[in-house]
Each structure stands twice: as structure tokens, then as C-alpha cells.
Amino acid sequence: MEELNLFEYAQKQLDTCAEILDLDPGVHAILRVPMRELHISIPVKMDDGTTKVFQGFRVQYNDARGPTKGGIRFHPEENVNTVRALSAWMTWKCSLLNLPLGGAKGGVICNPKEMSERELETLCRGYAYRVSSIVGPDKDVPAPDVYTTPQMMAWMMDEYSKTVGSHKFGVITGKPLSVGGSAGRGDATARGGMITIREAAKELGIDLRKATFAVQGFGNAGSFAAHLAVSMFGSKVVAITDSRGGIYNADGLDTEAVSEHKAKTGSVIDFPGSTPISNENILELDVDVLVPAALENVITEKNAAKIKAKIIAELANGPTAPDADDILHNNGVHVIPDFLCNAGGVTVSYFEMVQNFYMYYWEEEEVHKRLDKKMTPAYHSVLETSKTYNINMRVAAYVVAIERVVESMSDRGWV
Ligand code: GLU
């Protein structure tokens, strides 16, 4: 099978928007490629005595608006084009939320599920050491992403601090609270997504107390999304999947009990009282809100026409292929695009940076309030732009985000 080149998706989306905005060709050319990338090899002495070399990347896409920001993924199928695409999306995401940050992304090709804690720590420290010349609190600030955790962020912060010889909590976000983490970072991605769903439901006249949800993916974003759908709105979560399969119950699943089941067995599958559902079929369920919260490229031109959900809230990065967007738009599905829907994570990461800089920490409630004040206007700016230009929500999000990046490039005298 031909390897999916996610960066081509990202470039295609940008090109569509460049046309609408009538972007200057030089500006368009700058925005089409990453500004800088580092490829590294990280040797790790494994528990069995052998040495393995892991390949890693850090791609800094555009820093016109400030230090670059974006997570690090550990995944067996990671490749540099995926990291490039994700770094572009981080640029648009930070801009859309009006954060004073550019975009970046990191990745390591590895399978953390098959590695011991000691091997993972060595890999994290090796990564942090090798990117130390290009990251820093006022240069580029990584964070967690797929299969990376607050503990891993703590190891990387520690290694970077040792390398430069002083405490640098602000070099990375998503850390545990004991080492400069922010209250409210844990569920921030899901909570931000819920805020956009709340606003979308108002727009569409959907009563969320009676709404049904299907959640694809039960990692950090997906599991919190399922819990918050119940606790914030009183909605019913009827289906959940993870990488091994899924569960369905038309009367609603007890999401807390599902989490306990997953903690015990390693998966949501075989949850008592549920029937099995696949990762493909969950997307086609007749629900009010579909939340793709796993990996990229799951909604394509092959299944887009079969989607019955009224709202697609993209908590994952890149779940929808470009060809699927028009189909969804024509069918009246309200898509909350990824770099709007999942921007809660980086927004609270930005709050974490601010708190690290001034060494004073906020209460969780304060974080929630500030998150709402960022997400709600971002959603409405996209909605208004989509109505003004009569374009779909994703293209509208691009228009808002790109206009701001271009303004910064122009004010800095780059173009
Ligand atoms: N990995 C998250 C994202 O894709 C968060 C990035 C960050 O906090 O810097 O938005």
C-alpha cells in the first residue's frame, strides 16, 4: 500500500485557501513549506542488552507569530511528512486561537507499547538532548501528543535543564503539576472541543441534554471527551472504540466504568452490557455528535456520504481527507475542524508557558474560564467567516488563521 502523505493534504488545504484569499505567490510559497527541520538518530540500550537506533524529527513550520509550539508523537508508523503536516496545522491552530506562538511538531518512530519504562526514559532523554540546540522556552516548546505522557515531558524537561545548566520548566508543556504543569492541562483538549460543540449545538438548535455521541479513540482526548459529554451536557455516549475495537449500547455507556474496564484489560472491548462495533462502523452511526479522537485519515471520500452525524467534532489531527470535506459540507454535516476543535490542548499549554514564565500558578477554575474565553470567540470567528465567504468550516478556519500569520510576516518585514 502506498504510504499516506499527510503533508500533501495540508498543502492542498492551504492552496484552496490561498486562492480564496488571493495570496501573493511569494507569501504562499513561504507558507507551503517548513522553515526548519531536524532529523536525529537516538541510540537506546534496550533491556535485553542490544542497542537500537530510533529515528526522530522536530519540524518548525513557521515562527512569524512567536516561539514555535507543538507536541511530540511516539508512533510506529510515524514519518516525516506526517510531522510536517502536523507542524503546519500547529501554526494555523495557534494563530486561530490568537496565541502569540508559531507552529512545530516532533515525532519518533517507535512503539512505546512494547517498550519498558527504562527504555522509554532513555529514548525521551536522548530526544531532548539531541533537539536541545533548537528548542527552548523562547524558541520552540514541545508538548505531549499521541502516545506521549506528562511523565515523558518531565524527563525531557529534566534532560534539557541539565544540558543548559539551569531550571527550564518552560521548555516543554503538559508536565506533571509537581514540575511546573498547569492545572486543567489533562483534559484541556477534550474540554476545548466540548466548548466548540456547545456553541455549534446552539447554532444548529440541538439540545445537548438529549444528544447522542459516538467517540472514536479512547486515549487522552477521547476518554475525557466521553466523560465530559456526560458531565458537562448530560448527553448519552452510545459508542466508543479504541485501537483494538469498540463497544455500543443504545441506552448509553457508563463512561467511567468503561475507563476502569480499559485500565484493567487494556481495551474497551468486551465491556459488559455492550455489543461490539468496529472502528469503521462507529463513523456511520446515527448520532448527533461524532468525535473522531484517534488518528488521521479515517473519514475519506469512501465513507463520507454514509455519515449521519449532525456534528463532527475533530479532536484528532487530520481525521478527514480533503476530498471528504466537500461531501460532508454538501450533506449539511457541521464539521468543527481539527485545528479549531482540538486547540484546547495547546491553549492550556500556552497558559502553562505563561505560568512558568512568571512562576505563579492558577487554580483549575481560572484555567477553565480562560480556556472558554479563547475557544468561544475562535469558534464564532470561523462560523462567521464561513457564512461571509460561503465556504466550509475548515476553509474558514484557514482563512482566519492565515490572515493573521501573513499580517505578522508582513509587519516583521519578511514579505
Ligand atoms: N499535541 C497537542 C496538539 O496537537 C498540543 C500541543 C501543545 O500543547 O503544544 O495541539
Q: According to CATH, where is 3.40.50.10860 located in the chain?
A: 36-169
Q: According to CATH, where is 3.40.50.720 located in the chain?
A: 188-341
| pLDDT at residue 1, rounded to an integer | 42
Q: Domain spanning 188-341 has what CATH number?
A: 3.40.50.720
Per DSSP, the residues of 119-187 read: HHHHHHHHHHHHHTTT-BTTTEEEEE-TT--HHHHHHHHHHHHHHHTS--GGG-SS--GGGTPPTT-TT
Which residue lies with its CA nearest to atom 9 of ligand 1? Answer: 70
Which residue lies with its CA nearest to atom 7 of ligand 1? Answer: 346
Cα–Cα distance for residue pair 146/86, rounded to 1 Å = 12
CB distance 279 to ligand 1 below 6 Å: no
Q: Which CATH number fits domain 36-169: 3.30.70.2660, 3.90.1260.10, 3.30.460.20, 3.40.50.10860?
A: 3.40.50.10860
For ligand 1, mutation pick of 82, 152, 175, 346 (most atoms within 8 Å of CB): 346
CA 17, 18, 21, 27 torsion-angle sign:
positive
Closest atom of ligand 1 relative to the 93 alpha carbon = 10
CA of 285 to the centre of ligand 1 (A): 29
Cα–Cα distance for residue pair 254/264, rounded to 1 Å = 16
Closest atom of ligand 1 relative to the 73 alpha carbon = 1
Per DSSP, the residues of 58-116 read: EEEEE-TTSSEEEEEEEETT--HHHHHHHHHHHHHHHHHTT-S-EEEEEEEE--GGGS-
Which residue lies with its CA nearest to atom 10 of ligand 1? Answer: 346
Cα–Cα distance for residue pair 246/239, rounded to 1 Å = 7
| pLDDT at residue 2, rounded to an integer | 54
Low-confidence ranges of the chain (pLDDT < 70): 1-3
Cβ burial, residue 136 (10 Å; 0-12/13-18/19+):
middle
Per DSSP, the residues of 337-369 read: -HHHHTTHHHHHHHHHHHHHHHT----HHHHHH
Q: In 3D, which of 414, 367, 301 has the Cα closest to residue 63?
A: 414
| pLDDT at residue 387, rounded to an integer | 95
CA of 79 to the centre of ligand 1 (A): 18
* pTM of the predicted model as reported, rounded to 2 decimal places: 0.96
What is the Cβ-side half-sphere exposure of residue 108, based on CA atoms within 13 angstroms?
29
Question: DSSP 3-state assignment of 255?
Answer: helix
Closest atom of ligand 1 relative to the 343 alpha carbon = 10
